[in-house]
Structures are given as structure tokens and as C-alpha cells.
């Protein structure tokens, strides 16, 4: 582990990557397929200390592409260079974003998730959300739930430490539990509580990442990361064009439904949409 060295040559895009992760590589593949140019890649997990503000000041790239939450946290301190964020839950905490921060969000329209719940014949769906991060999303979710004949049983938290208690309060009151991509709720510690609740209460868990299937999720809507990279490249073109204004947060365009057939079978649940179904989402 060492301090990151300076780079004298000019380039177009500074890519700040939280770690070496296949998800980030998929997003980069999509980005590079539409936007070709000189770049510098910094993988934060390779270094003990990284001053992104200093690097941007000295190298003067045209933009910063931040992959993951840690990359976004360090890149938020950049003030006068466009920052585009990908695969970061914290992007939705808009109070922390400066006017130069844009990106592709992690929230798939709530109607897509709730349609899966309806397909499971779940009429009461529990959801825990952070009152600052996801309040606007939940307002739309309430409308979608009402239209689909679903009762959304909501619990708001102000800190991740409150998640476990709020989950416990849903016992016996819901037919399914919906895990949001909300960094104020889903942490390494609280994540286990979601799966424990699902198992103990014999209700399906619907989530947002394929990795959760092996932990016990019944179904997930996983983002198409390659297409998110393409969206980021399109955003870059808009932001960097003459007179280009901030685009802020875009909705992902594609998601893939994945299911855990063994969990569905144990719960006696069948879905009309098979795993592997690709959903196109209006941007």
C-alpha cells in the first residue's frame, strides 16, 4: 500500500474505481463502447491514501467517472469538473451532491418490484426505508401499490442501526419483504436481519442484487450494468457538450429478473415471469 503517484500526461476521463470488482468492469465495458478517449484509472483499494481533488487539480481531466460508493464519496469533493457516478447507493442522498454531480441511479421504478410481489400473490408488502434517502421514491411506490391493489407497510429509519427493530415490527403483518437499494438501511450488519426475517416469518424477500439470491432472496431485479455504462457515456456527451447543463440522476433503462427457485418452491410460490426475463424501463 502506497500513496498514489502523479501523472503528467493529459487525458479526458479520470476513472475512480472503488475496488477491483466484476460489476465495475461490466459498467466500464458499456462506457467504453460508446465513449473512446484517453483515460486514467485509479482503483482506490490499491492505495493507502488517494486525494482525488489534488489529482483533478493537477491533471485537469474533462470529467470524473466514479464507480461505487467510496469513489463517489471522494469525488464529491471535486467542485468544478463534471462527476458522473455509477453503481453507488449514496448517489440518492442528493443533499450531499454538488451541482456538478450526475449519474445513473440504482432505483428501478417501484412498479416493477411491486408487480413481482403481485405475481407472488403478496398483498401486504413490508419496506424499510431511510427518511432522507428514499422518501421521494416511497411516495411514488405508494401510488403504484394502490394501483396494483397492494398495501405497502412502511417503516422509516433515520440511521441503519434502527433497521433491525423496524423489521421486527413487521412480523406477522406482511406477506413479503422488499429490500431497497438504500445505503441508509442496507449495511453489512442489517443485511443479515432481512434474510433472517424472511426465513423466520416464511415470507419471500425481493431485492436488487443477484448476489442476494444465494443468501436467501426469492427474487431480485438486477440492473444491466453494461447498459448503465452506456447511459453514463451518453450523460458524459450531454454534460461535456457546449452549454451542457447538469442532467442529475437518470433512471436505469434495463433490469434482469432473477429468481431462487429453491426458495420459491419452499414457500409454495410460482411466478408468471421466469428468471432471466429482461425488463426495459422507460428512462
Domain map of the chain by residue range?
Answer: 13-105+225-252, 110-207
Cα 140 → chain centroid: 17
Give me the CATH code for the 13-105+225-252 domain, please.
3.40.50.2300
Is pLDDT of 282 > 60?
no
Q: Do residues 83 and 101 lie in contact, with contact meaning Cβ atoms separated by under 8 Å?
A: yes
Gyration radius of the chain's alpha carbons: 20
Among positive and negative, which fits the CA dihedral 46, 30, 40, 53? negative
Quote the mean pLDDT of the chain: 89
Give the three-state DSSP class for 40. strand
In this prediction, residues 264-279 reach a mean pLDDT of: 78
What is the distance between the alpha carbons of residues 99 and 96, in angstroms, rounded to a whole number? 10
Among positive and negative, which fits the CA dihedral 5, 6, 8, 14? positive
Q: Do residues 133 and 182 lie in contact, with contact meaning Cβ atoms separated by under 8 Å?
A: yes
Q: pLDDT class for 94, splitting at 50, 70, 90?
A: confident
Question: Would you say domain 110-207 falls under CATH 3.40.50.2300?
Answer: yes
Q: Do domains 13-105+225-252 and 110-207 have the same CATH topology?
A: yes
Q: What is the pLDDT of residue 1?
A: 44
In this prediction, residues 2-9 reach a mean pLDDT of: 55
pTM: 0.81
Q: What is the pLDDT of residues 32-85, one digit of tens each?
A: 999 988 999 999 999 888 999 999 999 999 999 999 999 999 999 999 899 999
Q: pLDDT class for 245, splitting at 50, 70, 90?
A: low
Q: What is the pLDDT of residue 216?
A: 93
Amino acid at each position: 500500500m502506497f500513496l498514489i503517484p502523479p501523472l503528467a500526461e493529459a487525458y479526458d476521463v479520470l476513472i475512480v474505481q472503488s475496488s477491483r470488482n466484476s460489476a465495475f468492469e461490466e459498467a466500464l465495458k458499456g462506457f467504453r463502447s460508446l465513449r473512446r478517449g484517453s483515460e486514467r484509472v485509479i482503483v482506490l483499494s490499491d492505495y493507502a491514501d488517494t486525494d482525488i481533488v489534488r489529482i483533478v487539480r493537477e491533471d485537469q481531466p474533462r470529467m470524473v467517472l466514479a464507480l461505487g460508493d467510496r469513489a463517489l464519496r471522494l469525488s464529491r469533493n471535486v467542485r468544478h469538473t463534471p462527476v458522473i457516478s455509477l453503481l453507488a447507493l449514496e448517489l440518492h442522498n442528493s443533499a450531499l451532491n454538488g451541482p456538478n454531480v450526475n449519474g445513473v441511479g440504482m432505483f428501478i421504478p417501484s412498479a416493477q418490484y411491486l408487480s413481482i410481489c403481485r405475481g407472488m400473490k403478496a398483498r401486504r408488502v413490508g419496506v424499510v426505508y431511510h427518511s432522507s434517502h428514499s422518501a421521494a421514491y416511497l411516495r411514488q411506490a405508494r401510488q403504484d401499490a394502490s394501483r396494483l391493489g397492494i398495501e405497502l407497510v412502511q417503516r422509516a429509519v433515520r440511521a441503519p442501526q434502527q433497521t433491525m427493530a423496524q423489521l421486527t415490527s413487521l412480523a406477522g403483518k406482511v406477506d413479503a419483504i422488499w429490500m431497497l437499494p438504500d445505503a441508509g438501511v442496507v449495511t453489512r450488519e442489517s443485511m443479515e436481519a432481512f434474510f433472517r426475517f424472511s426465513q423466520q416469518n416464511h415470507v419471500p424477500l425481493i431485492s436488487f442484487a443477484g448476489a442476494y439470491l444465494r443468501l436467501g432472496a426469492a427474487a431480485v431485479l438486477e440492473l444491466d450494468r453494461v447498459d448503465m455504462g452506456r447511459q453514463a457515456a451518453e450523460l458524459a456527451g450531454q454534460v461535456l457538450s457546449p452549454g451542457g447543463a447538469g442532467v442529475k440522476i437518470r433512471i436505469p433503462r434495463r433490469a434482469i429478473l432473477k429468481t431462487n427457485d429453491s426458495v420459491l418452491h419452499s414457500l409454495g410460490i410460482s411466478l408468471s415471469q421466469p428468471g432471466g426475463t429482461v425488463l426495459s424501463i422507460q428512462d
